[in-house]
Every structure is written in structure tokens, then in C-alpha cells.
Amino acid sequence: MKLLKQKISLVYFSLIIMLAIVGIVSVINLYGLTKSIDGLITDNYERLKMVSNMISTLERQDSAILTYISGDYDTRIKTFNNNVDEFFKWYYKEFNNVTENGEKELVQSIKKDYLKYIDSFSNLSQYGNDKVKLTEKYTYDVKPLFLKLKKDLQSIWNVNETAMFQSKSLATNNSKTSMYVILVLSIFCVVGGFFISRFFANKFTRPLEQLIKLMKEVKNGNINKQIDIESNDEIGQLSMEFNRITERLALFEESTLGEVITEKNRSLAIVKSISDPLMVLDKDYRIVLINKAFESFFNTKEHVAFKKHFLEIVREGKLYDYISLVLSKSNDYHTENIFYINSNESKYYFNVVVTKIEDTSSNLNGVVVLFQNITELKGLEKMKTNFISTISHEFKTPLTSIMMGSSLLKDKTLGNLNTDQENTLLSIEEECQKLTSLINNLLNLSKLESTDFAYDMKLTSLASIIEHCIKPFYIQAENKGVNLYYLVGENLPKVNIDKEKIIWVLNNLIGNALKYTNAGDEILVQAYMYKNKMHVSVKDTGIGIPSEYTKNIFQQFVQVENSEIEVRGADPGLSIAKNIVEDHGGEIWCESELDIGSNFIFTLPV
């Protein structure tokens, strides 16, 4: 029998496998691109360096011959002979690294001609000090060999230069192919994930919708209703119990008092058979009913807990606050929230469902508290968080290699670049910076979702934080032609916050404002008190956001677009900012109109 938890886990694992496929393919392609760039630098560039050194050596020898003819014999013979060793040093390095078509024949020809060149120089000594003969011999014997050697070396240079550009083109094509492969896989995963989630959502909710419909009919008096049982999971069990209840209701109308009592006992048995802990409280928070699962988990018995305040059994003050909050709201009949509870030195997560018990006049008679054990689901959520964190760390290594390679090329350490190459390099650096920002935000998101994450709360002045945050953005704003300034109210009280996390929130909001403003726009950062809460806003006159999307942008990996412009991206930064602000007990929202500007506001309790 497949439980509902197992079915949901199967959906989770399917989505995780899709993400793993995209991540693995991305890493493989990034690794291949890195290898191509490394090969481009280490192979052809080194051979170009060898050829350049041979040409330089040959030119020094030619200069030595000309000086020799002019009369400086001993010194120039020594210079020429020293450069012979230098030439052969680079020649044999080139000879051992031949890879291109036609390069080997050129290298062999160079050796043959260079030996002739040495012999020709040696023959000059037989003419003594006769400058006319020396000049004639140089012109007709030595110089043609020099020019031919230089020409052959230049040919090798051209062969390797052409190969280097071909390797660059191949690396570019490979990067485009990788991009398309990852894009197609991502689209497939998104579409596949969407249809899988829709399919299972419909499959899981269809029996519930049918159950709700029949419950409404039962409420209206149509008791003889039965629901079709389509599965043996919790929903199937619930449907089965519903059918039993309707059968009992039908019998109840025809029963005597004894039969009513019998049905009451059977209903209690149903409640007690629920697999998750459950307790029923009266309006004074005293226990009137618990089931077997509750007795087992909280290590108590019903006769011991009966009529006791529930905090004597469940020692969770936050649970009392939550139940009180639910009961104080007139419009909330059924509410749920996540709680973390320790039991027998183990950690458990419960989705605590609180349901009011009201009579026909809406008077409160009690409350039902159900503890749905979601520890396994939390484990899956932790696996997802760890997976995102691991993938982000794995991306950093090849990304760092790409940035280091770009830096070397930009500094011209490996040679000069033309304008097109510099523009391409600039694009690579910009995309690397975007990827780095995205990876850092993913890591921050993983930290926030971790149960070990903690805040360092201290009383802090917001004025100093805003001044600290805004300074690094002045140069960027000035370069874009954007007017960036701030206003802080007088005598603002200090707030109890984690300074580092609030600085991160402000930096993210200001950075987004700069990203979506143009020359002539303004960005105003404000802090002020309103309704006993500290308000901080980042307001810009940039491109704005359609009003219907202002709530969606705080969700993880949501991207908002219109027909002409991209508004706010899929970076998880705003989702992280929302988590941080809410963990401080505040709220964050956006007020915006397209083409007018945006105002991001968050509050902090004083």
C-alpha cells in the first residue's frame, strides 16, 4: 500500500533527478569549455613563443654577420656562435611539439637551411678583411638563406596562429552548443516538472474535491451518500471513514438512544485510530480527548491527561500562543502551522492543524489540535537545500578558472588582444559576475533554510547602517548618471536586528534599483517611524513593475516579464530578503507602476 507521503516523496525525487541531470550536464559542459580554453593557451601560444624566439635569434645572428663584415671579427663570431645554441634550443622544443598539418615539413626544412646558413657564415672567414668579397658573399649566399629561414619561420607562425583562431572558434561553438543543450534540458525539466506536478496535484486533490462536494450534501441533509474509494492511502482511508460516518449518520436518524451511544463510541474509536497525534481541548485549553498516537508520542495516558491544561502534557509555550491566536480570529475556522518538537532525544516536525469547535450559533465549544508528522518531508526539503548548496559550490571551481583565464587575457600577460577579442572577454567577465552573484544568493538561501542558521541580534542604529550601505553604490550610480541619496528621520530609536543580515537586504534592494534605472533617474533610501514600526524604503524612478506582479517577485526563482522588457529576474535575492525580514518579525512589500518606478518597503519591530 502506497501512502500519500510516499507518493509525494516520489514526486520530490523525480524533480530532484531532473535538477541533478541539468546540474551534471552543466558541470560537464563547463569543464569541457575550460579544457578548450586551457588548450588554446598552452598549445598554440607556446609554439608561437618558440617561433618568435627563433626569429629573434636569427635576426641577432644576421646583425652579428653585418657587424663582422664591418670589421668587428672576434666579438661577432662569438655572438653568432652563442646564438646558434639559443636557436637550436627553441628549434628542438618546436620540433617536439609539432601538431599542425604542414608544420613538420617546414621544421625539417628550417634545420636543413639553418645548417647551410651556419656553413655560409663559416666560409666568410676565408676572405679575411676583404670587405668587398665579404659583402658580395653575404649578399648572394648568406642573406638569401636568412630570408628563406625567416620566411619559413613566419609560415610556421601563420600555421599556429590559424590553428589558434580555429581552436577559439571551436571553443565558441562548443560554448554555444552547451548553452543550447542546457537550455533545452532546463525547458524540458521545467515543462516536465510542471506537468508532473499538475498530474499528481489533480490526482491527489480529485478525491478531496469529491469528498468536499459530498460533505456539503451531507451537511444539507442528504445523508445517504458514498464516495468512490480510488486508493488505499490516507485519502482512501479518509474516504473510507467518510463512508462509515455517512452510514452511521443514516443509522443515527433511525436509532434509539442506545444506538446513538454506540455510534458515539465508534466515532471515538475512529478518532483514536488516526495515525497522527490528536487532542481535543475545551474552551479553557483543558484536554477532553486524546488518541493512541498522542499517548505514545507524548508518553501519557488519557486518564492522566483528562481535564488537565494541555501545557502540562505538551510543554511548548509557542503552541499555546499559536492556538490562542487562532481562537482570537473570528474568521479562521481551520488553521495550520509548522512546529519543531523534541521527544525521546529525537527531533520531529509537525504540521499543527487547529480547528475550532463551534455550535450552530458560532459559539466556541473547544478546539481540535492535530499533529501531522512531516519529519520525512522536512528531510526531503533538507536534501533539496543541500543539493542546491552542493551544486553551487561545484559551480564555483570552474567559474573561478574561467574568471582567472579572463583576467590573464585582459591583463595582456599572454599577448595583445584586438577590439573584438576585448569585447568578447568583457562579455565573458560580465556573465561570470552574474553567475557568481546567483551562486552566492543560492548559498545564502541554503543557509537561511538550514535549521542550524542563527541570527546575531543587537540594538543597532539604522542611520549608520543606511549610510554604510549606500556609500559603495555612489560610484556605480554616478557612472550610470543616477542620483542616489538618502533621508533618515530625526531621533530614530535603535532596533534589535542582525546588522549583517539587514545590510545584506539593503544592499540587495539598492543593487536591484540601480540595475533597473537609467541615466536621469533617482534612487531614494529612507528610514522613518510609522504606526510604531520602523519603516525602511528604497524608492526609484526606473522602469517599474506591473502592479499585478508585485507580490510574485518575492517568491523563489520567479521571473516577471512583459512584452518589451524584462522587469525583475529569477535571482533568489528578493526571496532571501523576505525570509530575513520576516525572521526579524517584520514585513516586506513592493509598490510599483510600470514606467513610473518602484518602492520596496520593509518594516522592523521597535
469, 431 in Cβ contact below 8 A?
A: no
Q: Is the pLDDT of residue 2 over 80?
A: no
CB within 8 Å of 595: residues ≥ 6 apart: 543, 544
604, 493 in Cβ contact below 8 A?
A: no
pLDDT in tens, 394-427: 666 676 667 666 766 666 666 677 777 777 777 7
Percent of the residues in the chain that have a pLDDT greater than 70, as a whole number = 76
121, 109 in Cβ contact below 8 A?
A: no
**Confidence label for 522 from pLDDT (cuts 50, 70 and 90):** very high
119, 100 in Cβ contact below 8 A?
A: no
**Confidence label for 444 from pLDDT (cuts 50, 70 and 90):** low
Kindly report which listed range (275-284, 433-442, 579-588) carries the lowest average pLDDT score.
433-442
**pLDDT the model gives residue 240:** 77
Q: Is the pLDDT of residue 560 over 60?
A: no
**pLDDT the model gives residue 330:** 64
**Confidence label for 483 from pLDDT (cuts 50, 70 and 90):** very high
Q: Is the pLDDT of residue 373 over 50?
A: yes
**pLDDT the model gives residue 509:** 92
Q: Is the pLDDT of residue 442 over 80?
A: no
pLDDT average, residue stretch 338-360: 77
103, 160 in Cβ contact below 8 A?
A: yes
**Confidence label for 569 from pLDDT (cuts 50, 70 and 90):** very low
Domains of the chain: 18-186 (1.20.120.1730), 275-380 (3.30.450.20), 455-605 (3.30.565.10)
CB within 8 Å of 544: residues ≥ 6 apart: 567, 592, 593, 594, 595, 596, 597, 598
Q: Is the pLDDT of residue 392 over 70?
A: no
Q: Is the pLDDT of residue 563 over 50?
A: no
Helix (H) or strand (E) holding 352: strand 346-358
How many C-beta atoms surround the C-beta of residue 422 within 10 A?
14
Helix extents (H) in 255-305: 257-272, 292-298, 302-305
CB within 8 Å of 134: residues ≥ 6 apart: 68, 69, 124, 127
245, 260 in Cβ contact below 8 A?
A: no
**pLDDT the model gives residue 252:** 67
Write down the pTM of the prediction: 0.37
Kindly report which listed range (232-246, 271-285, 561-575) carries the lowest average pLDDT score.
561-575
Q: Is the pLDDT of residue 565 over 50?
A: no
pLDDT in tens, 147-164: 888 888 887 888 777 777
**pLDDT the model gives residue 382:** 65
**pLDDT the model gives residue 149:** 83
**pLDDT the model gives residue 395:** 64
pLDDT average, residue stretch 444-470: 75
* Three cell numbers, residue 302: 488519557
The β-bridge partners of 483 are 522
The β-bridge partners of 590 are 600
Q: Is the pLDDT of residue 389 over 70?
A: no
Q: What is the CA radius of gyration of the chain?
A: 39
Q: Is the pLDDT of residue 334 over 60?
A: no
496 vs 243, residue with greater confidence? 496
For the chain, how long is the longest CA-to-CA vector?
A: 143
pLDDT in tens, 75-96: 777 788 778 888 888 888 887 7
38 vs 147, residue with greater confidence? 147
Rounded CA separation 547/245 (Å): 47
User: What is the pLDDT of the chain when averaged over all its residues?
Assistant: 77
pLDDT average, residue stretch 247-270: 65
**Confidence label for 527 from pLDDT (cuts 50, 70 and 90):** very high
Across 58-67, 327-336, 417-426, 481-490, the highest mean pLDDT is recorded for 481-490
Rounded CA separation 388/446 (Å): 7
pLDDT average, residue stretch 544-560: 74
